[in-house]
Amino acid sequence: MEDTTVLIVGGSGGIGRESAKLFAKSGAKVIIAARNKEKLDETVKSINTNRGKVYAIEVDATDQESVQSMANTIKEKYGEIDVLVNAFGQGLIQPFMDIDPKDAKEIIDVNVYGTFLVTQTVMGIMSEDGPNNVIMFPGTMGKYVMKNASVYAASKFAIQGFTKSLVEEQRRGNTKFSLLYLGGVNTAFWDDERVKMKVKKEAMLDPEEIAKVVFYAVSQPSASVMNEVVIQPESHQLV
């Protein structure tokens, strides 16, 4: 991974943070981006103290100017991107009739528009020679459904459709896409007051273990691709 440059949007916590640790440990040049500067700085300090090398950039994934500024800075300071990990997103688990339309709009803006905006902009600064990798997280709500997840599931199914369409566009290109359909992962996602669901975090997937899956997807030989994978907690499976 020493000649690989990895951008992790949503890299200040959860799966993004653990993935950044793993890529940095492998020798890759790692850039993490997120809105929260304090958390970004904490992550950079933690990884760099442990012999890794990570750089941080503030970004609002829903703001075109912010995303373009991020891309310009990366290209100027660090060169082309080889790997994009879209590890950001927000949740909304509530009965349909209780959902505040403002919350619904924010979920769609972040999960759908943000994913589109970041992916389109970053693909513009990816290596022309490849192979490049884009990692997406539609989650199990992008493949299955459950009650009280109408808007959230809609945003995640959108990521699935968006990515599969890109796969068709890039069949003769040099960018590979991987879809990770994950069940509940023990992250700050569940601390959001808009996620009204009782869960047992200790029974959930470990973000450190999921980071290994991200790394595995990117580590595939140039002639192969990990198209998609479903990973769920044994105690809570959707089929």
Give pLDDT tens digits for 61-72: 999 999 999 999
CB within 8 Å of 191: residues ≥ 6 apart:
none
Cα–Cα distance between 9 and 31 in angstroms, integer? 8
Of the two residues 231 and 237, the one the predictor is more confident about is 231
What CATH number has the domain spanning 5-231? 3.40.50.720
pTM of the model: 0.93
pLDDT of residue 239 exceeding 70, the answer is: no
Looking at residues 14-43, what average pLDDT do you find? 95
Q: Where are the domains of the chain?
A: 5-231
Distance of alpha carbon 6 from alpha carbon 84, whole angstroms: 6
Determine the average pLDDT of the residues in 161-182. Answer: 95
On the question of pLDDT at 109 being above 80, the answer is yes
